[in-house]
Amino acid sequence: MSKRNKVLLGGGGAVLLIVLVMVSASAKREKGIEVRFEQVGRRDLVAAVTASGKIQPKKKVDISADITGRITRIAVREGDLVQKGQFLLQIDPTIYEANLQRANAGMSSAQAGAVQARASRDQAQRALARTKELREQNPNLISQEQLEQAQTAFDIAEANQTAATHLVEQARAGYQEARDQLAKTHLVAPMAGRVTRLAVEEGEVAVPGTFSRETGLLLTISDLSVIQTKVQVDETDVVRLHLGDSVEVTIDAFPDTTFVGRVTKVSNSAILTAASAVGGAQSDRAVDYEVEITLSNPPTEVRPDLSATARIVTDTRKQALAIPIIALTVRENTPVSTEQRPARGGNTAEAATPTRSDTSHKGGANKKETEGVFLVHNGVATFHPVKVGIAGEEHFEVVDGVHQGDTIVAGPYQAIRDLKEGARVRPSRESGDTTSRRRS
Domain stops at, among 149, 184, 219 = 184
Residues 336 and 414 in one domain: yes
- Judge whether 235 and 51 are in contact, CB under 8 Å: no
Q: Judge if 38 and 141 occupy the same domain.
A: no
Residues 323 and 433 occupy one common structural domain:
yes
99 and 40 part of one domain: no
- Give yes or no: residues 100 and 175 share one domain: yes
Looking at residue 16, its amino acid is: L
pLDDT at 208: 87
Are 123 and 40 in a shared domain? no
Q: Which of 184, 208, 235 is the last residue of a domain?
A: 184
Whether 256 is in a domain gets the answer no
The answer to whether residue 268 is domain-embedded is: no
Per-residue pLDDT, 254 = 92
pLDDT value, residue 438? 41
Give me the number of domains the chain comprises.
2
Are residues 38 and 127 both part of a single domain? no
Residue 36 in domain = yes
Confidence at residue 439, expressed as pLDDT on a 0 to 100 scale = 37
Same domain as 99, residue 39: no
- pLDDT, residue 32, reads 79
Q: Give the integer Cα–Cα distance in Å for 397 and 392.
A: 8
pLDDT score, position 195: 94
In a domain, residue 397? The reply is yes
Give the pLDDT score at 48. 92
pLDDT at position 276 is: 54
Residues 328 and 432 in one domain: yes
Sites in the chain below the pLDDT cut of 70? 1-31, 210-213, 273-285, 333-367, 430-440
One domain for residues 41 and 123: no
For residue range 307-362, what is the model confidence (pLDDT) as tens digits? 999 999 999 999 999 999 999 999 876 544 444 444 443 333 333 333 434 433 44
pLDDT for position 311: 94
Residues 124 and 38 in one domain: no
Q: Under a CB-based contact definition with an 8 Å cutoff, are residues 261 and 293 in contact?
A: yes
- What pLDDT score does 88 carry? 96
Clarify whether residues 40 and 136 are in a common domain: no
In a domain, 61, yes or no: no
CATH number at residue 397: 2.40.420.20
Q: What pLDDT score was predicted for residue 336?
A: 46
Domain final residue pick, 127, 160, 184: 184
Q: What is the pLDDT of residue 349?
A: 32
Domain, as residue range, for 153: 93-184
Q: What is the mean pLDDT of the chain?
A: 83
Can you give the pLDDT at residue 143?
Answer: 87
With respect to residue 261, please indicate whether it lies within any of the assigned structural domains: no
0.75 surpassed by pTM: no
179-188 in b/e form (b: 16+ CB < 10 A) is eebbebbebe
The per-residue pLDDT for 108 is: 94
Report yes or no on 63 lying in a domain: no
